[in-house]
Structure 1
Amino acid sequence: MADSGLDPAARRWVLAALQGDEAVAACARGDEVPEPPEAGDASGAAPAHARRSFLRRIEVQGFRGIGRPSSLEFAPGPGLTVIVGRNGSGKSSFAEAAEAALTGRNLRWDAMPEGWRDGWRNLHFDERTEITVELQLAGDPGPTRVTRTWTGESVRSARGEVVAPDGTAAPLRSRGWDPELARYRPFLSYDELGRAVTGRAAELYDTLTALLGLTDLTDAERRLAKACDRLAKQRDRPGHEHGYLVQRLRAGGDRRAAMAADLLGAENIDLDRLASIAADDGPADPQRHLVLRRLRRLSVPERGLLTDVVNELRGAAMELAMAAGTKGDRARGVVDLLRRALEHRERHPSETDCPTCGTGGAFGPDWERRARAEIRALEPVAAGAAAAYERAENARDQARFLMAPMPSWLPPDSELGRVWAEWEAGTEIGDLTQLAEHIETVGRRLRSTAIAARKAAGEQLDDPTDGWGELADQLRAWVEDARAAVSAGETLGPAERALEWLTAIAREIRAERLRPLASHAEQVWHRLRQERRIDLEALRLVGRGARRRVAVDVAVDGSENEGNAPGLLSQGEFQALALSICLPRTMVPDNPFGFLLLDDPVQAMDTETVEGLAGVLAEVGRHRQLVVFTHDTRLPDALHRLGLRADIRRIQRDAMSNVWVAESGRTGEAAWAGEGSRAAAGDSAPARAQAPAPAGPYGGEAAGAPAGGDRPWQGYGPPPGPYSGLA
């Protein structure tokens, strides 16, 4: 970093990306990022490597195609073992059992439907399902035994235990093997080979990245790219939202919205002025706000009261109509007239002339006595009519009380103001029936209009700014984003320079780390391709994030096709290419697993490719313990024909899921002559104690005796070999 040539700000971003997400967040905030300690080990000691392990034994019972206990034993050291058997003979059951014992899962199961996964328990075996894998770790006096036992019906119900050479038992997870098993995966099935090239693009990328120790670098690049993307979005967000905000402000009727829209249209936007406008959260029109507050408290006549007044008016009108023209009505009129005359005399006692006709001396004491006597005589006759008139007057008073004047604060041009003016005009109506009709129709309309106005006032008072509050919130948020955008723009420059530098360095480191593996893959492909004119030019780790992938560059007939291998290869070539990429993973120096279980790698390969594969497997077997399961006898035939060193075994299974394995001989015996047991990781190879094969449908078959040299082809298909009858 000191010689990187980066400016201090960009260098700080690189350091933060290498340290983690919290450091990146701190760098984005402008906080200091501590310098990492200088690389190097003060003690000068070489880094410790995990002890390499080899297989000694796999024992299976009640799992998949294997019923009663059956086992495979191996010399714990480098070498090639080929297990040959028909489809359904239990080959994959052994391979998957070893993976399940060590990892608790199987990648092939994970890709299968749930119904298929539920069929993991053998149907012909009622006792417990158990798998034992014995490993020989370098330097140990004896084997380490891993056992996984299933206690329930679910494939996930297994319990794993590991027993050390000294007999100490512990849960399997306590050994901490999971990261190494995920990184180096000493298991490789046909399905995995298919996915290696044509599966999810990031899957192989992640596998190789972890294998090459590039995970931290990849994570740092991802963090930095993510930070740059976040800063760029933060910088650009106000620009994306500017047009929409101006449009909203122009559509608002508030004077403050218009002022803000004008400011946003300026070449240099005054953020402080915009913030001040957004902070003004008062009502747009104080006088209107007062009207709204009064409207919200406005009381309106209840529906029941209106009905009662209308009914009373109509009842009084009916009673008045019935009394009209009767003697009682005439008597009431006379009584009323005499009382008014008496009231006039009481107010003016000195006047005796009639104010109506001018007759002199008409209002004397005698007249007063006669008038009072007349009133007393007529009152009983006028009582009914008088009650009708009194009821009518009371009903009219009630109606006038309801029709109160319009409040002075209510705008007369509003809908409620117009209805109220019409309502108030009813006080001029004298006819009781017409008055009742007015109250019933206009009163009902007044009530509904007033209730609607009151509700609308309440809603508008919830936002006293009349819509400006929402616009002000948007304006405030935009101002905050704009200020953050200025800061993000200043921060983004150093971050982008850091990302550019880190991406270039990461590309160089990836290429350097990948080069040995890619070279090995090219060598493997060269042997597998045989006479095909397809060259594996390069493997490259490209892209990042969701676009990360392993680019496979091939050349067909000398024409380069960068990163486009899948479109050019047949299925068999796919298989060969996948093996070319995956097999070198086993040879990584830090791989703690000295073994690889390879299940059915020969599918879709032609005879020439199988011969190339035989050579590749034999070469890998010189350095690693390689166990290959196959149904295709062309592989052991090729090993025999080419004189390549391998241990060939035959696997068989009867109708009751009894599985047994028998020795079928060794190929390349001349190369084995005089050689003792293969060197183990700190121990010698155990004797291969094989139980005699039980009687069964294949019990009488014997392995053909190896014969040197090629055999002539017999019709279409591969030339027959000494192992052709095994599958």
Structure 2
Amino acid sequence: MRLQTVEISGFRGFAADSLFDVDADAIVVVGANGNGKTSFYDAILWALTGRVQRLSDSTQRLVNRFSDSGQARVRVRMGVERGAHLLTVTRTFDGKEARISVEESGEILRGPEAEGRLIRVLWSNAAGAVDPFSTLGNVLTRSVYLQQDLISQFIDDASDHDRFNAISELVGAGRITDLQSELERSKAAWSKATNAKSAELNLLRNRIVNLEARLAELRARQTVQPVEMDNAEWSTWWADIAELGVTISGPPPLSRESQVAIDNAMKQLDAERRALERKLHLIDQISGDLVALSALDRSDPSEGRAVLATLRERINVLKEDVREEQARMSKARSIQAELEEYVEQMHTLASIALQHLGASCPVCEQTYDVEGTRRRLELMVSRAGALPFVDDGENLRAALENLSTAESEALRLEMSLRQQESAEAAYSSLKQGIGKRALELGIQVEEETSSDYLLSVRKDVWSAIENASEAQNRGERFALQLSRMGDAASINELASEIATLKQKLVVEQRDLTDRTRTGDRAQIIIETLRESASDVVAERIQNLQPLLTDMYGRVDVHPAFQAVKFLTSVVRGRGRLTTVVSDPQSAVESDAPETVLSSSQLNALAVCTFLSLNMGLEKPPLDAIMLDDPLQSLDDINLLGLIDLLRQAKETRQLFVSTHDARFGSLLGRKLRPNSVHQRTVLITLDGWGRAGPSVDHREIHADPAPMRLKAVAA
């Protein structure tokens, strides 16, 4: 299938409508970087597959921002040969919904029908794939469209397993690989279920072991054969415990409910006995409290309170007397101090005056009676000293003594009153406690209650406790009999259950064996498919090897590593394809070309691999080779060899080559010009990019009218 026309509108670099006439044997696309060369190839890829796989982000970005219609639209017309139209594919995307239509012989198909028809026409092997268009896209990008930024991916970035899968798809073994992968997934799920069943069998075996251990324990414990149950005694016991307050009705002695019923009855009996024991304790507490009540001194404290009030009034009066006496003595002491100070001053003045007595007064110089004055002064000096205190404090001491005596008496009365109040509080507490306990017991108890009454009540409670204990003992004997009889029944049930589980184990074990055998057979099929896929790929690679070797030598990739080959293998169930370059002269080889080749040489190897895969396929999806600007990835020497290969490929494939270099474009035009009137070469120029996209110019390249001549020059 060959391309004839490509119409692009609103897709990536093309906002306005652009029509490309590609109904030619060679199409050379020339345009500066950014002018839409890659968008042209991506448009063809998107129209045929619905995706551009190298653009892993959202499909929203495929719509040109300046599109008048707000949608991307690509229409590709194809035919089996130049000039013979056969199929038209139209794909649109408005940012939300993608649509496709296929027109063939006047019939228009849309949606899934159109997609199915397109797959059948281009690559029918993909019809059985999980994602047919993803498979188709991989085939196109591996053998038809060599993308500019992914030239060396197949050799450099892809893993050995990815290369093997890619080749498998190209040589027609893709569905074998898919079947192998599907069987491996199913085998994994089958193995998981088988392992789960094996685990369940282990649990079943463990359960049988545990049950057998339990059976052996019951048989060892059953040393005494169970005796027959006395129905009359059984019924009597249930009647007796009913009188003791047990509310459970007695079932027949050998019924399924017997053991549960007697266990519950024994719990109620134990609870009843504990309640009776508490009553006995309450009765003993009441007796002790009554004895304590009789020992309390409950004299009336009102008389003592009156005496204390009178005494406190007297204390207040005595305190006032003490304060008054203290004030009087303080005033007397002040007067005494002032008098002593006066006498001291007179003594000092008299002493000074005696020292200065003369014929006349030293102050006023008047005459006076010197001797009389001297005698008076000497008398004043002789009388100097402390004056006797007129009050010795006897009244104050007496008042303080009376106050102390009254306060001591008041303290004694207060302590006595506190004791009486404490006795009254103890009496109230005892009375309250006796009342609560009597209420709990349901009896009437007063302070004057006789001890005989409490002894009678205590005797009744003690008798009830003995009856409950005796009933518990009888119940335990019945429980033991039932347990022994239950052990016998359990032995029979366990033996029956063990036999049933062993039968189930045999059946499940047989099923597990069958599942394991099935899994082993599936593994054999998987291994056979692996070997078959590897054999098919190896055979096709062997067929492609001469073509790859020829192209690698003509491009002259490396001066030393002049040979290349593919090696296939199966490692851990996964097919692998390894690229090996070698130096035939020194027998040196490398299975990692990226370590011995430069970037340009590695790209040249990738181009040779790509062309050999394309040319080696009997029926590729498109009878075309699309190279997106190989000039940016190859050296000039490699390019000359590549052009020679392309001239040869043009004879069997529709050739698309783009370049950013106008001179290289002219060279391609000359080298790929038609060799006859039946061939056609078109030069498409993309120029002047604007918001509407680049301008598109088509130019026909005609055959050289002058025949080629060879001229020999003598050396």
Band the TM-score falls in, shorter-chain normalisation: 0.5 to 0.7
After TM superposition, give the deviation of residue 232 of structure 1 in Å: 12
Q: Distance in 1 between matches of 2:179 and 2:67?
A: 52
Residue number in structure 1 paired with 2:330? none
1:123 to 48, 61, 65: 65
Please list the CA deviations of residues 229-279 of structure 1 after superposition, one character each: whole Å capped at 9, or x if unmatched.
9999999999x99xx989x99xx9x9x85xxxxxxxxxxxxxxxxxxxx99
User: Alpha-carbon deviations, 1:82-103, whole Å to 9, x = none?
Assistant: 2122222111111111111111
Would you say 1:135 and 2:78 are equivalent positions?
A: yes
Change in Cα spacing, 1:468 to 1:225, as seen in structure 2 (3 Å) is: same
- Return the match for 1:59 from 2, 7, 24: 7
Structure 1 residues 383 and 480: CA distance shift in structure 2, 3 A: same
Q: Report the residue type matching 2:7 in the other structure.
A: E
Q: Percent identity?
A: 19
Q: Which piece of structure 1 moves more, 169-178 or 397-406?
A: 397-406
Q: Give the equivalent residue in structure 1 for 2:322.
A: none
- The two structures have a TM-score, normalised by structure 1, of 0.53
Q: Aligned letter for 1:604?
A: S
Are 2:593 and 1:565 aligned? yes
Give the match for residue 195 of structure 1.
153
SS at match of 1:105: coil
Please list, as runs of the form range in 1=range in 2, the aligned pairs for 1:633-652 lying within 5 A after superposition.
633=662, 635-636=664-665, 638-639=667-668, 647-652=682-687
Are the aligned partners of 1:222 and 1:545 in contact in 2 as well (CA < 8 Å)?
no
How much does 1:572 deviate?
2.0
Distance 1:63 1:288, change over 3 A: farther
Which residue identity is paired with 1:316?
A: I
Q: Decide whether aligned partners of structure 1 residues 200 and 495 sit closer, same or farther in structure 2, where only a CA change above 3 A counts.
A: closer
In structure 2, relative to structure 1, the CA distance for the partners of 1:572 and 1:391 (3 Å cut) is farther
Change (3 A) 1:235 1:177: closer
Query: Out of 600, 616, 625, which is 1:596 matched to?
Result: 625
Pairwise CA distance, 1:614: 2.0
Q: How does 1:180-579 map to 2 (within 5 A)?
A: 180=124, 182=135, 184-185=139-140, 186-197=144-155, 198-215=157-174, 283-286=215-218, 298-299=263-264, 300-301=267-268, 308-309=275-276, 311-322=278-289, 384-400=450-466, 403=469, 404-405=472-473, 407-408=476-477, 480=510, 509-530=536-557, 532-543=559-570, 547-556=574-583, 558-561=586-589, 563-579=591-607
**Equivalent-residue separation in structure 2 for 1:144 and 1:96 (angstroms):** 19
Is 1:145 aligned to 2:173, yes or no? Answer: no
Paired residue secondary structure (2:102): strand
TM-score between the two structures when normalised by the length of structure 2: 0.54
SS at match of 2:476: coil
> How far apart in 1 are the matches of 2:45 and 2:88?
14
Task: Call closer, same or farther: CA 1:231–1:170 in 2, change over 3 Å.
Answer: closer
Contact 1:281 1:472 in 2 (8 A): no
Alignment partner of 2:686: what SS? strand
Shift of 1:158: 0.9
Paired with 2:221 and 2:40, the residues of 1 have a C-alpha distance of: 84
Is 2:160–2:578's contact at 8 Å kept on the other side of the alignment? Answer: no
Aligned partners of 1:302, 1:574: CA distance in 2, in Å? Answer: 96
Which amino acid in structure 1 is aligned with residue 31 of structure 2?
G
1:72 shift after superposition: 1.6
What CA distance in whole angstroms lies between the structure 1 residues aligned with 2:611 and 2:293?
126
Is the 2:10–2:17 contact (alpha carbons within 8 Å) kept by the matching residues of 1? yes
Cα distance, 1:161 vs structure 2? 0.5
- Residue 283 of structure 1 aligns with an amino acid whose one-letter code is L
CA–CA separation in structure 2 for the residues paired with 1:144 and 1:500: 41
Alpha carbons of 1:614 and 1:408: their partners in 2 closer, same or farther (altered >3 Å)? farther
Task: Give 1:158's aligned residue.
Answer: 98
Q: Are residues 305 and 664 of structure 1, via their aligned partners in 2, closer, same or farther at CA, if it must alter by over 3 Å? A: farther
Shift of 1:531: 5.2
Q: Which residue number corresponds to residue 95 of structure 1?
A: 41
1:562-618 per-residue CA deviation (whole Å, 9 max, x = no partner) reads: 643343332222222222222233332223522233323343322211222222222
Kindly provide the CA deviation profile for residues 510-554 of structure 1, in whole angstroms up to 9, marking residues without a partner as x: 443333322222222222235532233322333277621222221
Alpha-carbon contact 1:301-1:402 (below 8 Å) kept:
no
Contact 1:150 1:158 in 2 (8 A): yes
Whole-angstrom CA distance in 2 between matches of 1:385 and 1:637: 136
Q: Map of 1:22-33 to 2, 5 A cutoff?
A: none
Distance in 2 between residues matched to 1:308 and 1:672, nearest whole Å:
129
**C-alpha displacement of 1:61:** 1.3
State the distance in 2 between where 1:652 and 1:381 align: 125
Aligned-residue offset at 1:147: 1.0
Question: Residues of 1 paired with 2:98 and 2:515: CA distance?
Answer: 54
The C-alpha deviation readout for 1:321-374, integer Å capped at 9, x for no partner, is 3556999xxxxxxxxxxxxxxxxxxxxxxxxxxxxxxxxxxxxxxxxxxxxxxx
Residue 631 of structure 1 corresponds to 660
What is the CA-CA distance between 1:402 and the residue it aligns to?
5.6
What secondary structure, in the 3-state scheme, does the structure 2 residue paired with 1:132 have?
A: strand
* Closer/same/farther in 2, CA of residues 298 and 165 from structure 1, 3 Å limit: same
SS of 2:16's equivalent in the other structure is coil
Deviation of 1:148 after TM superposition, in Å, equals 0.9
Q: Partner of 1:721 in structure 2?
A: none
Distance apart, 1:555 and its partner CA: 0.1
Would the alpha carbon gap of residues 245 and 74 (structure 1) be closer, same or farther in structure 2, given more than 3 Å must change? closer
> Match for residue 643 of structure 2?
614
Taking the aligned partners of 1:569 and 1:473, their CA distance within structure 2 comes to 69
C-alpha displacement at 1:297, in angstroms? Answer: 7.1
How far does residue 642 in structure 1 lie from its aligned partner after superposition?
5.7
Report the residue type matching 2:147 in the other structure.
S
Query: How far off is 1:386 after superposition?
Result: 3.9
Query: Is the counterpart of residue 86 in structure 1 residue 86 in structure 2?
Result: no
Q: Secondary structure at the match of 2:288?
A: helix
Residue 428 of structure 1 aligns with which residue? none
For residue 384 of structure 2, what is the aligned residue in structure 1?
none
* In structure 2, C-alpha distance between the alignment counterparts of 1:98 and 1:628, rounded to whole Å: 14
Looking at structure 2, the residues matched to 67 and 513 of structure 1 have their Cα atoms a distance apart, in angstroms, of: 43
1:389 match: secondary structure: helix
Distance 1:176 1:304, change over 3 A: farther
Q: Tell me the equivalent position of 2:436.
A: none
Alignment gaps of 5+ in structure 2:
125-132, 227-255, 295-445, 481-486, 675-680, 708-715
Q: Which letter maps to 2:697?
A: A
8 Å CA contact 1:135, 1:145 repeated in 2: yes
> For residues 550 and 145 of structure 1, do their structure 2 counterparts lie closer, same or farther at Cα, with a shift above 3 Å needed?
same
Mapped to 2, the partners of 1:526 and 1:381 lie a distance apart of 129
Q: Distance in 1 between matches of 2:517 and 2:105?
A: 62
Aligned-partner Cα distance in 1 for 2:75–2:291? 119
How far does residue 67 in structure 1 lie from its aligned partner after superposition?
A: 0.8
Q: C-alpha deviations, 1:256-315, integer Å up to 9, x for none?
A: 85xxxxxxxxxxxxxxxxxxxx99697342258999995897333599868854653332
Q: Which has the larger radius of gyration?
A: 2
Partner-residue secondary structure (3-state), 2:77: strand
Shift in alpha-carbon separation, 1:611–1:310, aligned structure 2, 3 A: farther
Unaligned runs of 5+ in 1: 1-52, 258-277, 328-379, 412-456, 675-727
Contact 1:538 1:553 (C-alpha < 8 Å) held by counterparts: yes
List per-residue Cα deviations over 1:672-704 (Å, max 9, x = no partner): 779xxxxxxxxxxxxxxxxxxxxxxxxxxxxxx
Judge which range, 538-547 or 576-585, deviates more: 538-547
Contact kept in structure 1, 2:290 and 2:447, CA below 8 Å = no
Change (3 A) 1:224 1:545: farther
| CA root-mean-square deviation | 5.4
Partner of 1:60: helix, strand, or coil? strand
8 A contact 1:615–1:644 mirrored in 2: no
